[in-house]
Structure 1
Amino acid sequence: MGIANTHEQLPDAATLIATSELQWPRITVNGVALEGAAIARELQYHPAPSREEAIFLASQALVVRELLRQRIAQLGLQAQCAQGESEEEALTRMLIEQELQLPGADEAICRHYYDNNRERYTSAPLLAVRHILLACAPDDAEARSHARALGERLIAQLAEDGARFAELALAHSGCPSKEQGGALGQISLGQTVPEFERQLLRLPPGLAQQPLESRYGVHLVWVDQRVEGRALPFAVVHEAIRAELDQRVWQVAVAQYLKNLVGQADIRGILLDGADSPLVQ
C-alpha cells in the first residue's frame, strides 16, 4: 500500500529496522510519534520468526490503532461500553458502525450458501475409541521425540497383530483407561481436548497410522466404530450461516476502510503493504 508525503526511504517488512538492537523505529502518524516503549509492549502480541518481523507487525498494529484513535477524536465519539468491553474496544466498534453501513445476508443468500455447502452442516461423528497414551509434558521436546519414536514402533507391532492392543496399553499407557484395554468409550464433539479432537474426529475405523499428539502426550489410537453425523436442516443452521456471511462482509469492508485510512494519512518510518491488524483477523 502507498503512503502519502514520505520524504525518506521506507523499509518493507523484511528490512524495517535500520537501527541497533537498543533502538526502535522512528514512526509518525499524521505527526504523532509512536513511542518505543509502546512498540516494546506490543511485541508480545506478535510472535514472528525474527525480531525485525515482530517489530514490523507490532508497529503496524500501533499505526492502525493510532489512525483509529485520531478518527474517533475527529468525530467526537464518546464511549458507550457494552458488557465486557474496554473503552478502546467500544470506541472502535462505534466508529466502524458509524462509518460502515453493511448489508446483512438475507434468507435467500443464506439458503443458497447452505445448498452449496451441505457437507459443512452435519452433526459431529460418533466414534468408539481405544488409545495408548505415551505421557509427556507439552514443553518437553526431548521426551516428545522419544514418545513419537516409541509410538511408531508400537504402531508397527499393532499393524502386525492388533490383538496385542490391550497388552501394549497395560504396559505403556499413562492413562487409567489402560485397565480397560485403553477403551475411552464413545467420543463426539466437545468430549476431549480440542487439539486431540480435531485429529480424532477425522480418523476412519481401524488403527491410526501415525501417533496423535495432545497436551498430555502422544496417543496411539484405534477406532473400533465410526458413526457419521447427520445432515442438519437449514432451520437449525440458518442463524450460524447468517453470522458467518455477515462476518465475512465485515472483514472485507473493515480491511478496505483501514487501507483507505492508511492511504489518506501522512505515515513516516514504515511502509505498509496492507492494513492487516488484529481488528480484521
Structure 2
Amino acid sequence: MRAIVVHGVEIPESLIAQEAQNHPGASIAASRKAAGHALATKALLLRRAGEIGLVAEPELDEDGREETAEAALVRAVLEAEIQVAPPTDAECRRVYDGQRARFRSPALYEAAHILIEPRSDADEDVALARATADRLSHMLTEGVRTFAELARDHSDCPSAATGGSLGQLQRGDLVAEVEDALLALAPGQVAAEPVRSRFGWHLLKLERLIEGRDLPFEIAAERIRLHLESRAWSVAAARYVVALAEDTQGKGVVATLDEEGGIRDGSGCLGDFIGDGAAAERLLPWLAAADPDVFRYLLEESSGSGVEPAKLVRAAIAEFVDRANDEQWTQLISASRNGTDPAQAAFATIMKTRFSGSHQGCTGGH
C-alpha cells in the first residue's frame, strides 16, 4: 500500500484518489492536494477529540439528516476549542452604515397575466395561439370585458382561478422576457401587444409597484451580528486547523489512516530511538550486519568526535524528526514499506542520509 504524509498524517494513495473526486480543481494535482489536506485535517481533529476525551451525539441538520459520528466529533472539538467574542453594537453599526444597500427590503411588484398556450410546437398551432391572444388583447383595448374575466375564461395558467393574478413578485421570479415587459409598464397599465415566452403568449398587466425600503438598524442588527460571528468563527477555525498542522512538525507521523479512512496513532518507533538509548544500542549490531559501510561511517564519526555511537544515532534521528517535511516523511515511509522490518528500514534510511552524506562531504569524495 503506497502512502503519502500530509501534516503528519499518513494517508494511503487509494484514499487520496477516492477523496479527490470531492475536490474538483484546475488540475489533478490540485484536486489531490486538496483531498490530502481535507483528510489530514479531519484526522488531526479526530485525534484531538480523542486526546481531550470528547464524546459527541450526532445532530440533525436543517433537512433532518443525521450527521455521522466522525462529523459530530469534528463539530464538538471545534466548538470546545474555538471561542470568539460576540460583535459589539458599534461593530454592527459600522457594517450597517458602510453597506446600507445590503439592508433594504427588495423592490416588489404585483402583476397579472393571461396565458395562451399553443397545443404543440407546430407553426400552425403557434399561429393559432397568437391569433387568440390578439383577439383577447383587442377585447381589452375596446373595454368589452375586464382582464380578470378574460383570464378566468381563457388563460391556460392555474392563475386563471384568481383572475390571472400572480401575486407579489420580485426580480427573477418570472422568465426574463415577461418580467422585462411587465416592468416597462406603468401601474395599472396593460401591455399593448402579447408577449411570447417558451410557455406561449402572455397578455400582461402591471398592478402595482412597491419600492424597496431601508431596514431599520434594530431589524438589521441581528442579521449583521450573525454574519460577523460566523465570519469570525470561520477565521478562528482555519487558524486552529493551521495550528494543529504546525504542531505536528517535529513529531513525525502522528496518525495513520487505513484504506477505509479509519484513524490510528502513528508509529512511535523513531520516538523510541530518541528517548531510549537502549533502543539505539540494540540496533547497532543490526546496522553493522545490514549496512557495513554506513556502520563504518558511524564509527569513524564517533571516533573523531568522541561521542558514543548510540548518542550519534539518537541525535541523527532527533534531527530528522525535528526538520523533516511531509515529502521527506513520505520518502521514509516508502522506504520502510520495502523492508521486512519497517522500523529497521526507517532507521537505516536516516542513517544512510546522515552518515554516508557526512562522510562523503568530509572526504571530498576521495
Please, which of 49, 65, 71 is the counterpart of residue 89 of structure 1? 71
Percent identity over paired residues: 29
Indicate the residue corresponding to 2:326 in structure 1. 268
* 1:188-199 matches, cutoff 5 A: 188=169, 196-197=172-173
- TM-score, normalised to structure 2's length? 0.42
Displacement of 1:258 in angstroms is: 1.4
Indicate the residue corresponding to 1:33 in structure 2. 11
Displacement of 1:114 in angstroms is: 1.7
Report the Cα distance in structure 2 between the residues aligned to 1:110 and 1:199, rounded to whole angstroms. 37
- The residue type equivalent to 1:188 in the other structure is L
* 1:4-153 matches, cutoff 5 A: 26-29=3-6, 30=8, 32-34=10-12, 36-37=14-15, 39-40=17-18, 42-83=19-60, 84-128=66-110
Structure 2 residue runs of 5 or longer lacking an equivalent are 61-65, 116-133, 138-155, 186-197, 253-324, 329-366
Report the Cα distance in structure 2 between the residues aligned to 1:95 and 1:223, rounded to whole angstroms. 57
2:109 is paired with a residue whose SS is: strand
Displacement of 1:249 in angstroms is: 0.5
Structure 1 residue runs of 5 or longer lacking an equivalent are 1-23, 134-163, 168-174, 190-194, 208-215, 271-281
The structure that has the greater radius of gyration is 2
Please, which of 234, 239, 263 is the counterpart of residue 256 of structure 1? 239
1:89/1:199 Cα in 2 relative to 1: closer, same or farther (>3 Å)?
farther
Q: Which stretches of structure 1, 4 residues or longer, exceed 6 Å deviation after superposition?
A: none
Asked if residue 206 in structure 1 is aligned to residue 184 in structure 2, the reply is yes
CA contact (8 A) 1:26 1:269 kept: no
1:130/1:45 Cα in 2 relative to 1: closer, same or farther (>3 Å)?
farther
1:105 is paired with a residue whose SS is: coil
Pairs aligned (count):
201
1:268/1:199 Cα in 2 relative to 1: closer, same or farther (>3 Å)?
farther
How big is each residue's C-alpha offset from its partner over 1:161-217, in whole Å with a ceiling of 9 and x where there is no partner?
xxx9x99xxxxxxx949x9xxx8845435xxxxx945997x979439xxxxxxxx99
Report the Cα distance in structure 2 between the residues aligned to 1:243 and 1:63, rounded to whole angstroms. 30
CA contact (8 A) 2:108 2:169 kept: yes
Report the Cα distance in structure 2 between the residues aligned to 1:259 and 1:197, rounded to whole angstroms. 43
- The residue type equivalent to 1:260 in the other structure is A
Displacement of 1:49 in angstroms is: 4.2
1:126/1:68 Cα in 2 relative to 1: closer, same or farther (>3 Å)?
same
How big is each residue's C-alpha offset from its partner over 1:62-121, in whole Å with a ceiling of 9 and x where there is no partner?
121112122222222111333443322221222112222210112232223222222211
1:38/1:187 Cα in 2 relative to 1: closer, same or farther (>3 Å)?
farther
CA contact (8 A) 1:81 1:90 kept: yes
Indicate the residue corresponding to 2:259 in structure 1. none
Report the Cα distance in structure 1 between the residues aligned to 2:223 and 2:93, rounded to whole angstroms. 12
**Larger deviation, residues 78-87 vs 110-119:** 78-87
CA contact (8 A) 2:49 2:77 kept: yes
1:35/1:232 Cα in 2 relative to 1: closer, same or farther (>3 Å)?
same
Report the Cα distance in structure 1 between the residues aligned to 2:205 and 2:230, rounded to whole angstroms. 36
- The residue type equivalent to 1:107 in the other structure is D
1:38/1:57 Cα in 2 relative to 1: closer, same or farther (>3 Å)?
closer
